[in-house]
Amino acid sequence: WGFVPGQDTVARAGMHEAAADVCGASVAGARAVWDGGAGSRAFCPAPSGLHHAFANKASGFCIYNDCALAIAWLPDAGAERVAYVDLDAHHGNGVQWIFHDDPRVLTVSVHEFACGFYPGTGDVTGRGPMGTPDTTVNVPLPPFAGDVAMLAAVGRVVEPAVRAFAPDVLVVHLGADVHHADPLTHLQMTMVGMEEMYRRVVALADEVCDGRLINTAGGGYNPGTLGRLWALQLRAMAGQAPADGLPPAWQDAVRTTLGQDPPSSLPEDPGPEWDADQRAGGDRVGLANVAKAEALLAQASPGAGRVATVTSWCVLRHRQA
């Protein structure tokens, strides 16, 4: 069932009830958006966005896959096509494999891929059963890729793929762990870059599906940035500019709980700490992967039986060895 003592997903009392509540909230968000019609949006922050759970087992901190349940509810309610865009640092493996042979669902994932980095998938994607159109797009990025590579992936792969698929509703997973200060990942996005990414996702929903948007938010492991990034997501979905200041009570909590000097505004960001040459190298390899995915996408529209995938530099190294 995927539960391994001492690993990332362990069995414990109350896990079913807690995970079921999360799933119920995300399905309720899907229902509200579908029933609400054009312009309806739902924001379901963590602990939602459990995109690693499979249909038959738990995985990667995720017991049940609320993203997949929300997506599955929509066709039953009348949606002909649903697009799922995963912009978390980790590959959306559970959602991809649950829907890899369902022509009604497009899954697009832009994520970090490196040797030893969880879940280690998203580089080679299998097709569905014979005759079933595949609707899977993956763009793996190397460690230290940042705003340049991620925003290029959004503009050159994510947006064209979703436009070609023409969904009735867009479900997104906007993980805060692509930020450079996240302790578990190595992508180097900034607050400014992530805010732009959020606003482009909202604009895409407005363009292709009358604004119907469900945001499952997703993970993030730095308490100093997570709340601010969720606030940026929510304000983008509401069409509001970032607030000029931050609540004094929150700033005091940052000082006392985290022992840090709090930022003065939502998008304030000191920038990545990694060497500029290292980050430039990450973006360079990332852009090469984006170009490969873009070329694959140009050969066939999503849903036409073609899988758009890119093999990362790490896998290529192993195959050459």
Answer for the pair 161, 137: CB distance below 8 angstroms, yes or no: yes
**CB burial string 197-233: b at 16+ within 10 A, e below:** bbbbbbebbbebbebbbbbbbbbbbbeebbbbbbbbb
For the chain (321 residues), the mean pLDDT of every run of 10, in chain order, is 65 84 95 97 88 86 92 98 97 93 94 90 54 74 98 97 96 97 97 97 98 93 92 95 85 92 90 94 96 80 46 33 31
Mention every residue, 6+ apart, whose C-beta is less than 8 A from residue 73: 27, 30, 31
Q: Which residues are catalytic?
A: 52
d(CA 178, CA 142): 12
**pLDDT for residue 7:** 67
**pLDDT for residue 46:** 73
DSSP 8-state secondary structure symbol assigned to residue 132: P
Residue 46 burial (CB < 10 Å; 0-12/13-18/19+)?
Answer: middle
DSSP 26-86: HHHHHHHHHHH-TT-EEE--TT---TT--SS--BTTBSS-HHHHHHHHHHHHT-S-EEEEE
**pLDDT for residue 134:** 65
Whether residue 47 has a cis bond before it, omega within 30° of 0: yes
Mention every residue, 6+ apart, whose C-beta is less than 8 A from residue 51: 62, 65, 67, 68, 86, 88, 90, 92, 93, 94, 95, 173, 216, 218
The pTM (predicted TM-score) of the whole model is: 0.90
Residue 29 burial (CB < 10 Å; 0-12/13-18/19+)?
Answer: buried
**pLDDT for residue 245:** 84
Backbone angles phi, psi at 58, to 5 degrees: -80, 160
CA dihedral 112, 179, 27, 101 (to 10 degrees): -10
**Structural domains in the chain plus CATH codes:** 15-240+285-320 (3.40.800.20)
Answer for the pair 201, 243: CB distance below 8 angstroms, yes or no: no
The residue type at 86: D
**pLDDT for residue 61:** 82
Backbone angles phi, psi at 228, to 5 degrees: -65, -40
Query: Token pair for residue 252?
Result: 């005091």
Query: Token pair for residue 16?
Result: 């079913």
